Amino acid sequence: MRIIYILLFFSLLGGCNAHKQEDSSLQSTTDWMLVPFVKQDAVNPVLTPNASTTFNCPLQQELVYWEVKDVFNPAAVVKDGKVHLLYRAEDSVGIYSGTSRIGLATSEDGLHFERLPEPVFFPDNDFMQPIEWEGGCEDPRLIEVDNGTYYMTYTAYDGEVARLCVASSPDLMQWEKHGLAFADAYEGKYANTWSKSGAIVCQQEGSRMIATKINGKYWMYWGDTDLFLASSDNLTDWAPLEDENGELQPVLSVRENHFDSDLVEPGPPALLTQQGILLLYNARNSEGAAADTTLDQHTYAAGQVLFAANDPARIVQRSSSYFIKPEKDYEISGQVNKVCFVEGLVFFNNRWLLYYGTADSKIAVAVCDRSVF
């Protein structure tokens, strides 16, 4: 097994010299990466669709089986000595492959979960209804601030445009919606631009992941084509990074003949470490001549990238290969085939637990026993 891990480490590091912004001082080490993750086959998938739970939808004005079709793409935090998952769940009613709502599940050991019978976050009769209905509220990511308030980035989908939004809560149960992340930036220039997947930079404090400022600002990686960057003073109002021409400035792009040849998308909140800012990111393999031939076309796998601690836009190092990919039946076949989509990461009981969506249908966990990196 040790030989396998050594080979994995070298495969992850290989081929990175092509990135001119990378720091050569880290190219001979694996210290910056969080690996290896081992899938927990004995318990996976840890959450599956539930055909018995109902919810009185305030917009449909009737009972719906709100998590009957699919559950996937969870955020995760440790609170009160337990792992809490906020997960995306779909009914079979909404015209856009089911309406998405966000449920809450808790675990004493991070492996076995009990969930609430109703969602804690959903489209409602409020100011967000026009952009949340009836596609729903999708793909949460969670961070915490020093006073114990939780901030969630999520995607509002109206059936036409996905828009990155922000909400906050003192307890993960009661939520205040703050609206569009980019509503006011550049006089609303990006308010109605397709935007998803906000991974805010945070720092580990024991089992807590606390949002942290760099150069006086909070930072967030986002996007699901190239990967972009945004800054904020307050965690609710964000300004995307632009280039000298006033266009969005990519900070991570696709690579031909790699697992990330078709798109890149942030995973869990980014971690500020001693080495830099570590981001686990999702990627899709392309087709044809640009594809990674070791993966099937359109496969979602995940990689890792390190940005400079004092410059969130500068790449220091990037893995050349994936560290997790679809292999199990529930990862290969589902609403979207061949998907491992990482989104929730916690440090719990002295190890890292990574929660990921499988085939847009179920939720699984993988564990890394590396306690310090």
3-state secondary structure 328-339: CHHHHCCCCCCE
pLDDT digits (tens, 9 = 90+) for 169-208: 999 999 999 999 999 999 999 999 999 999 999 999 999 9
Q: What is the mean pLDDT of the chain?
A: 93
Q: Distances from the Cα of 194 to the Cαs of 50, 57, 159, 305, in angstroms? A: 31, 26, 12, 24
Q: What is the DSSP letter of 131?
A: H
Place of tokens 């980019």: 182
Domain boundaries, the chain: 49-368
Query: What per-residue confidence (pLDDT) applies to 373?
Result: 62
pLDDT digits (tens, 9 = 90+) for 253-272: 999 999 999 999 999 999 99
Closest CA to 222 of 141, 300, 285: 141
pLDDT digits (tens, 9 = 90+) for 56-83: 999 999 999 999 999 999 999 999 999 9
Which conformational region is residue 283 in: left (phi greater than 0), alpha (psi within -120 to 50 degrees), or beta? beta
Do residues 210 and 203 touch, judged by C-beta distance below 8 A? yes
The model carries a pTM of 0.93
Question: For strand 351-358 and strand 114-115, is the pairing parallel, antiparallel, or unpaired?
Answer: unpaired
Instruction: Please count the other Cβ atoms lying within 10 Å of the Cβ belonging to residue 284.
Output: 23
Instruction: Please count the other Cβ atoms lying within 10 Å of the Cβ belonging to residue 205.
Output: 12
Torsion 61-93-180-102 (CA) sign: positive
CA-CA distance, 280 to 33, in Å (whole number)?
A: 9
Burial (Cβ within 10 Å: 0-12, 13-18, ≥19) of residue 183: middle
Q: Distances from the Cα of 322 to the Cαs of 129, 179, 342, in angstroms? A: 38, 34, 12
| Top CATH class, 49-368 | mainly beta
Query: What per-residue confidence (pLDDT) applies to 241?
Result: 98
Question: For strand 82-90 and strand 100-107, is the pairing parallel, antiparallel, or unpaired?
Answer: antiparallel
* Lookup: tokens for 361: 């249908």
Do residues 45 and 340 touch, judged by C-beta distance below 8 A? no
Mean pLDDT of 106-112: 98
Residue 2 has pLDDT above 50, yes or no: no
Q: Distances from the Cα of 46 to the Cαs of 54, 105, 106, 121, 365, in angstroms? A: 20, 10, 11, 21, 7
Of the pLDDT bands very low, low, confident and very high (cuts 50, 70, 90), residue 29 is low
pLDDT digits (tens, 9 = 90+) for 312-329: 999 999 999 999 999 999
Do residues 285 and 297 touch, judged by C-beta distance below 8 A? yes
Query: What per-residue confidence (pLDDT) applies to 26?
Result: 42
Amino acid at 30: T
Beta bridge partners of 72: 88
Q: Distances from the Cα of 337 to the Cαs of 5, 51, 283, 360, 362, in angstroms? A: 27, 22, 14, 8, 12
pLDDT digits (tens, 9 = 90+) for 271-304: 999 999 999 999 999 999 999 999 999 999 999 9
Listing DSSP states for 156-224 in one string gives EE-SS-EEEEEEEESSSSS-EEEEETTSSGGGGTTTTS-----EE-EEEETTEEEE--BTTBEEEEE-S
Q: Angle 42-371-204 (CA atoms, 0-180°, nearest 5)?
A: 110
Query: What per-residue confidence (pLDDT) applies to 69?
Result: 98
Residue 23 has pLDDT above 90, yes or no: no
Q: Which residues contact residue 228 at a Cβ distance below 8 angstroms, ignoring those fewer than 6 apart?
A: 221, 222, 240, 241, 248, 249, 250, 251
